[in-house]
Amino acid sequence: MTDAMLYYEKKEDIWDPLVSSDSDISVFKSYKDLFVFAVCVGYVNNDRKSLSENRKQGEIRWEYLTRENKMVIDSVALSESSDPKLLIDSNQDYLDKKVTIAEEYANGGIDILKNELLEKPGSPLENLISYMNKVSKLEEKEGYLKEIEDEF
């Protein structure tokens, strides 16, 4: 097993309020959950941003991800690269490529989540539900999930 790390830019005005147990507005149980959700949001919105030099401000160990978390990241990486070898965690080069894809989509997705959950009127939870409804309607209209399904 590898000691791979997933890094994210720790933007306190986004990450902490959405996860912190001290916050009335927190929506996610852990940074890991927010990270994986941000990967999905970045992917759906085709918003992939390289991390800045300060990228190691926040980190999540690959081994802490659940099987389901890894499946989400595997699906995004495979869809992005079309290289099934990225599914091999035991190969460090492939794992590094997969991790980079996830980090970059999370970095793009977290800015969208800031706008959608924290900068709009209403509670972040209500805004999350509204955002999910909007994405669901867009999916019905444009068929993103069908495209991913067809790739497999």
Full DSSP string of 21-80: TT-TT---SSHHHHHHHHHHHHHHTT------TTGGGEEEEGGGS-HHHHHHHHHHHHHH
Q: How confident is the model at residue 145 (pLDDT cuts 50, 70, 90)?
A: low
pLDDT beyond 80 at 43: yes
Q: Please state, in angstroms and as integers, the Cα–Cα distance from residue 32 to each residue in 51, 59, 148, following that order.
A: 17, 9, 23
Q: What pLDDT is recorded for position 1?
A: 45
Give the tens place of pLDDT for each residue, 65-84: 999 999 999 999 999 888 88
Q: What pLDDT is recorded for position 27?
A: 87
Q: What pLDDT is recorded for position 94?
A: 85
pLDDT beyond 70 at 140: no
The mean of the pLDDT values for the chain is 83
Q: What pLDDT is recorded for position 149?
A: 56
Q: How confident is the model at residue 112 (pLDDT cuts 50, 70, 90)?
A: very high
Q: Global pTM?
A: 0.83
How crowded is the C-beta side of 79, counted as CA atoms within 13 Å? Answer: 21
pLDDT beyond 60 at 23: yes
Q: Give the Cα separation of 24 and 85 in Å (integer).
A: 42
More confident residue, 12 or 132: 132
Q: Quote the Cα angle for 66-72-74, to 5°.
A: 100
